[in-house]
Structure formats: structure tokens, C-alpha cells
Amino acid sequence: MSNPVSNNSSVIKRLQREIVRATLTSREGHIASAYSILDILWVLYSSVLQVYPSVPKHGNRDRFILSKGHGSLALYAVLAEKGFFPAKDLERFSTFESNLGGHPDCNKVPGVETSTGSLGHGFPMAVGMAMGLKIKNSTSRVYCLIGDGEANEGSIWEAALLARHHKLDNLCCIIDFNHSTDRALDLGDVAAKFRAFGFETTTIDGHDHVAILESLNIESNSPRAIVARTIKGHGCQVMENNPAWHHRSPGLDELKVILDQLS
């Protein structure tokens, strides 16, 4: 696979521009949430996951589940870049005739493993997949990305208990820790919580591609958790940590400002 460090900045900025443009037709999309996780997904699909764009359901593939399904634009942009479907499809995002909805649908989008969006559901499904692969003696791995707000859901911690009990060393949970939940419920030390649930836990800068890759490549006899410190709207000054951009599409004047910042 390609080196995740080289030429990444230009690729990320180009994908960010594609993401914001994708919202213009339908006027829908969680752009800031997508920017929060884009670096993580790019490293995963460029240098970690064993996937087969021409045969998306290949039996030997690794599995990735985007539990925070509202960040779908980041996943779509990366899947298109990797050849799962034409990049031109992004232009019809969230329109009536498009397969690319506001939340990913595994029955419509090549490369999407499960339909997600109801927060707290994706990680339990990932645990089930990891258990199934263990039973089959498969060497494939399961990676699941959850939002920090999702960690308010009890289903996350029930699934974590199950993962530790069954020693699912083929499972990695990545927490997009952008502090978007702080006003509703302060999670405190998320790494310590996962560690207490029996996960080998690492905390990283979720926008540092070297740190992302190193953390994903750590071997463990236990399920793993990576707490990725991220910035909602990362790379775009008008969006960074701005709650007004949680779910909206820019007007034409705003679009020019955003594209200038991403140039």
C-alpha cells in the first residue's frame, strides 16, 4: 500500500473541497463532522485495511464500520478516491435518485459494511462481526469509528464488555474525540474508561497521519481502542469548533471563503 505520509496534505484538501461541493445540490450534509474524521479514514483505507474495490464483498476483506453515520461524506469521498464508485456520484449526494444518503446504506453503496446513523448501534455490530470472524478462524480485522457523543449510549459500553469477555483481538474501536458532546455530557477521561473495560488503549492526534498509522498497527492480545483527539471542521477556519456548522450547506459567498481556506 502507499506511504500514508507522502503527498497527504494535497489529497486531504482536495477531498475536503469535494465534500463541501457535494452538499450544494441537496443543501444537506454534516461537513464539519466529515472533516473531523477524514484524516483517520484516509490512513485506514490507504495503508491499513485489506479491501478490494472491484470485489467489495471479498471474503478476505477487513471490515470498517462508520458508527457515527452522519459523517458519511468523509467515507464516501475516500471510497470514491479508492475506486469503489465514481467520484462524480458525490455531486448527487443526498438527492432523491442518489445511492449516497445522509447516512450510509450497505444495500446501496459499495464498500459500506453496515447501514448506520442511529447512534450507538455501529459498535455493537462491529463486535458481532469480530466474533463471527473469530468463529470462522478468519484473519480479517474489524475497525469501527464512533463519535464521542456516541459514548453517551449504554450500548457502546455493553458491547465493550462483550468484546473484552470474548478476547476480540481482531477488533479496534476508534473514538473521534472532538469534544462535541462536552456541553451535553462531559465524558472525562475516555481512554481510562476504555482501559477499565479491558481495552488496550492509545491516545493520539487524530489529524497526524504518522500517529494514526502507528496506532493502527499496534498488535495486541486484547481489543483495542484509539482515542483520536480531533477538531470538528478541521482545516476550515470558519467551521472549526463552530456548532453552527454541525448540519448545513454553505451559500455561494460562504463557499468561496471555504474553498479559499482549503486551497
pLDDT digits (tens, 9 = 90+) for 78-106: 999 999 999 999 999 999 999 999 999 99
Which of the four pLDDT bands, split at 50, 70 and 90, describes residue 2? very low
pLDDT digits (tens, 9 = 90+) for 118-132: 999 999 999 999 999
SS (H, E, C) 162-174: HHHHCCCCCEEEE
For residue 5, the model assigns a pLDDT of: 54
For residue 165, the model assigns a pLDDT of: 97
Burial class (CB in 10 A: 0-12, 13-18, 19+), 188: exposed
For residue 7, the model assigns a pLDDT of: 52
> In the structure grid, which three cell numbers stand for residue 145, read together?
469509528
Terminus-to-terminus CA distance in the chain, angstroms?
27
Burial class (CB in 10 A: 0-12, 13-18, 19+), 137: exposed
Q: For residues 112 and 105, what is the distance between their CA atoms, to the nearest angstrom?
A: 7
For residue 4, the model assigns a pLDDT of: 53
Burial class (CB in 10 A: 0-12, 13-18, 19+), 63: buried
- pLDDT higher than threshold 70 for residue 9: yes
- Domain spans in the chain, listed from the N-terminal domain onward: 8-261
- State percent of the chain over pLDDT 70: 97
Superfamily of domain 8-261: Thiamin diphosphate (ThDP)-binding fold, Pyr/PP domains (3.40.50.970)
Does the predicted model carry a pTM greater than 0.85?
yes
pLDDT digits (tens, 9 = 90+) for 189-199: 999 999 999 99
